[in-house]
Amino acid sequence: MTEPRESLFDAALSRHDREATRKLAWEGTFREYVELLESRPWLARNAFQRLVDMLDFFGSEPSRERGAKRRWKLFDDPLGEGRDAVFGLDRSIDELVNTLRAAARGLGPERRVILLHGPVGSAKSTIVRLLKRGLEHHSRTDDGALYTFDWEIDGQRFPSPMRQEPLLLLPRDMRADLERGLQRRNDRDWNLRIEGELDPVSRHYMTELLRRHCGDWSRAIEHVRVRRVLLSEEDRVGIGTFQPKDEKNQDSTELTGDVNYRQLAEFGADSDPRAFNFDGEFNVANRGLLEFIEVLKLDVAFLYDLLGASQEHAIKPRKFAQTSIDEVILGHTNEPEYRKLASNELMEAFRDRTIKIDVPYNLAVSDEVRIYERQFARPKLRGRVLAPHALEMAALWAVMTRIEEPRASSLTLVRKARLYDGATVAGFGPEHVAELRRAAVREGLSGVSPRYVQDRIAAALVAERPTVTALDILASIETGLAHSSLVSNEDTRKRYAQLVGQVREEYERIAREEVQAAIASDREALDRLCAKYVENVRAYTSREKVLDATGRTYDPDERLMRSIEERLDIADARRDDFRIELMNFVLQLQRDGRTFEWRTNRRLLSALEQKVFEDRRDTLQLTAADASVVDPDAREKLAVLRSRLMRQFGYDELAADEVLAQVSSLFARGSAIGGRAEAA
């Protein structure tokens, strides 16, 4: 007899965590809530403290970015599997977190609007979105739990319309003792305070119950049921978002609520709080976070509401007294709007109550590449392949549009971008990076956004080519400049086109070096060349003849020795001293029973590779001149080169052939071949 198969419903039900659901649906009396706080006092924290605790919940690690101390893991987007991860902004995010931490301690920023300022596409809204998503998730954990209350009156249940903290039910004269008791048990680095008053609806019910029970607060509080609340942007619980509209359609009731005309007939007056919907964005975001999109496009009347909300932690609904709110207010704006604010004397009050945090474009090529890799992950390409360096060159161009021309004549824009990315650049070190950044404080606040580059990469990917190279993407970028609405200034357009040319030259340099490395990666050839060089130096310094494998002798090959020494930057006047030093070193190693490990010497290795490369590059020159004259031996050598490029650098067959053709063309034009030392 066969076993009955489990139904799909039962399979789904087996994954249901009843205990977790029970915790999320916790409900109790006001007394039970206070008893809960005795063991976990931090549950009564305010919105800033909750936001900081959420960031600590996800954790942090030391940042690899210069100028930043921490990398906050929430911004790796662990909840979205990295889809919204933010790269290259550790300094800005660290500044934001420190501002929030100061606000959590009550040091002043809690009475300010926090303004994220930067160019379009610099991830300002993504940062806020991750904060909101983190709050939603954290509110479902034990550490992030928060509670509100409902009123039970005459068999009916009425929720606190703004989901207020239950401790606000305490009269003023009862708060101090409870505060001190909770603070003694609090192990967080901020103080617990019971601040604010009940919203108009809850105030109405409390007044009514106190009248009914002859002023006995303990009897009135028996009508309260405390329950857990989960923050949710979709459900408009604790997370609000406000986006400005045109002036004719803006209405302050969108922020502070409006009359409920259906209830007006029942309660008779629009000043009765029960006939009012406390569902404006300020009301919705209470206990959590309110995002103002393009905040500086708000009408002036809205800005007054915003200033009062941040400074006084209170809002003024129509026909009601000031109403307490507890929320983090985050706005963001772009560069043109902020310049308009800075030049408007009438906006001085707003500037004075704002903490501006710059969110510039990425200035690290490797981080910019990670942004593009997220968009163009291999599963999304559907039969297309991005060749090595394709995204890197697009990122390099984007970064170069955002940084200023270096003042030092020895530092090109390409080298400056590499230096910013942590590369070793001859004559410059980390201390110079700090100097360069201080001298160019507006770097990253202008230039091309990642969106433009992503659009041009996408345009290159839809072309009928299975493999898309760096040159394809650079051509797409250059073509897009001609009709881009984002680049309206002709001088800027010309400059960006010139930068494409500079990046193309950088790509050609990289391609030459990789082909050089592929040609010179014949270990046996390198070993033979090194042994031959050392033997010739030995014979030269000891005034002997060189003995070859056939037993014949000949004078040391001066041309061979100099061809390698010149690549080591050994002047002709120093050649004898250098050769004597080298042989003394080799002989000392032999006396100690050790072997001369020439491969560990990067300069010597590079010189030998260049020599092997120079000896063998004729194969490529032949293909550049006329593929039909390539003999079978040359074809075999090309096949070996192709396989090495594929194995060592990740090219596919088509991309490897294109790189070989590109470098062959450079040889045909007489292009000089630089060594690896030129890369830095």
Mean pLDDT, residues 121-141: 96
For 126-131, which contacts have Cβ atoms below 8 Å and span 24 or more sequence positions? 126/84, 126/86, 127/75, 127/86, 127/89, 127/93, 127/96, 127/359, 128/289, 128/291, 128/330, 128/332, 129/84, 130/74, 130/75, 130/77, 130/84, 130/86, 131/51, 131/54, 131/74, 131/289, 131/330
DSSP 525: H
pLDDT at 213 over 60: yes
pLDDT given at position 408 = 80
Mean pLDDT, residues 598-620: 72
Q: Higher pLDDT residue, 585 or 12?
A: 585
pLDDT given at position 643 = 87
Instruction: Categorize the per-residue pLDDT at 389 as very low, low, confident or very high, splitting at 50, 70 and 90.
Output: very high
Supply angle C-alpha 216, 217, 220, rounded to 5.
95
pLDDT given at position 647 = 87
pLDDT given at position 416 = 93
83/101 Cα distance (integer angstroms): 27
pLDDT given at position 116 = 95
- Given a contact cutoff of 8 angstroms between Cβ atoms, the answer to whether 230 and 139 are in contact is yes
Mean pLDDT, residues 361-365: 93
Q: Concatenate the DSSP letters of all residues of 38-92 into one string.
A: HH-GGGG--HHHHHHHHHHHH-EEE--STT-SEEEGGGG-GGGTTTT---S-HHH
189-225 burial by CB neighbour count: b if 16+ within 10 A, else e? ebebbbebebbbbbbbbbeebbeeeeeeeeebbebbb
352/440 Cα distance (integer angstroms): 25
Query: Which residues have C-beta within 8 Å of that of residue 144, sequence separation ≥ 6?
Result: 50, 53, 54, 57, 135, 137, 138
- Given a contact cutoff of 8 angstroms between Cβ atoms, the answer to whether 48 and 198 are in contact is no
Q: Higher pLDDT residue, 248 or 548?
A: 548
**Which ranges of 542-601 would DSSP assign to H, the alpha helix?**
558-565, 575-591
Q: Higher pLDDT residue, 603 or 325?
A: 325
pLDDT at 513 over 50: yes
678/509 Cα distance (integer angstroms): 9
pLDDT, tens only, 88-104: 999 999 999 999 999 99
Mean pLDDT, residues 335-360: 83
470/205 Cα distance (integer angstroms): 68
pLDDT at 621 over 80: no
pLDDT given at position 309 = 92
Among residues of the chain, what percentage have pLDDT more than 70?
92
pLDDT at 2 over 80: no
Please tell me the pTM assigned to this model: 0.83
Q: Spell out where 567-642 has E strands.
A: none
- What is the residue-averaged pLDDT of the chain? 87
Helix (H) or strand (E) holding 455: helix 450-461
pLDDT at 182 over 50: yes
Strands 239-242 and 224-229, sheet pairing = unpaired
Instruction: Categorize the per-residue pLDDT at 616 as very low, low, confident or very high, splitting at 50, 70 and 90.
Output: low
pLDDT given at position 482 = 85
Mean pLDDT, residues 315-341: 90
Mean pLDDT, residues 180-207: 94
Half-sphere exposure of 383 (CA within 13 A, CB side): 5
460/327 Cα distance (integer angstroms): 45
pLDDT given at position 268 = 81
pLDDT given at position 299 = 77
Q: Which CATH architecture has domain 105-140+230-244+251-359?
A: 3-Layer(aba) Sandwich (3.40)
Q: Higher pLDDT residue, 163 or 610?
A: 163
pLDDT, tens only, 521-541: 777 777 888 888 888 998 999
Mean pLDDT, residues 459-470: 87
Alpha-carbon distances of 347 from 242, 335, 337, 344, 437, rounded to whole Å: 20, 16, 12, 6, 30
What token pair was written down for 675?
Answer: 């060594």
- Given a contact cutoff of 8 angstroms between Cβ atoms, the answer to whether 423 and 346 are in contact is no
Range in 218-227, 394-403, 661-670 with the lowest mean pLDDT: 661-670
Domain limits of the chain? Answer: 16-45+146-185+195-229, 105-140+230-244+251-359, 366-508, 519-679
> Position 190: which residue type?
W
pLDDT given at position 173 = 92
Mean pLDDT, residues 426-440: 82
What token pair was written down for 477?
Answer: 């970028």
pLDDT given at position 626 = 47
pLDDT at 11 over 90: no
Mean pLDDT, residues 412-437: 86
With tokens 């039900």, the residue in question is 13
What token pair was written down for 427?
Answer: 């004559």
Mean pLDDT, residues 293-299: 84
Mean pLDDT, residues 652-671: 76
Mean pLDDT, residues 460-468: 85
With tokens 């005459």, the residue in question is 154
Instruction: Categorize the per-residue pLDDT at 382 as very low, low, confident or very high, splitting at 50, 70 and 90.
Output: confident
pLDDT at 349 over 90: no
User: 3-class secondary structure for 278-300?
Assistant: CCCHHHHCCCCEEEEECHHHCCH
Most confident by average pLDDT, 342-346, 373-377, 386-390, 433-437 = 386-390
pLDDT at 670 over 70: no
pLDDT at 343 over 80: no
Q: Concatenate the DSSP letters of all residues of 209-222 into one string.
A: HHHHTTT-HHHHGG
- Given a contact cutoff of 8 angstroms between Cβ atoms, the answer to whether 449 and 359 are in contact is no
181/175 Cα distance (integer angstroms): 10
Q: Spell out where 232-350 has E strands.
A: 239-242, 258-259, 276-277, 289-293, 314-315, 323-324, 328-333
Q: Spell out where 154-271 has E strands.
A: 156-159, 224-229, 239-242, 258-259
pLDDT at 417 over 60: yes
pLDDT given at position 447 = 92
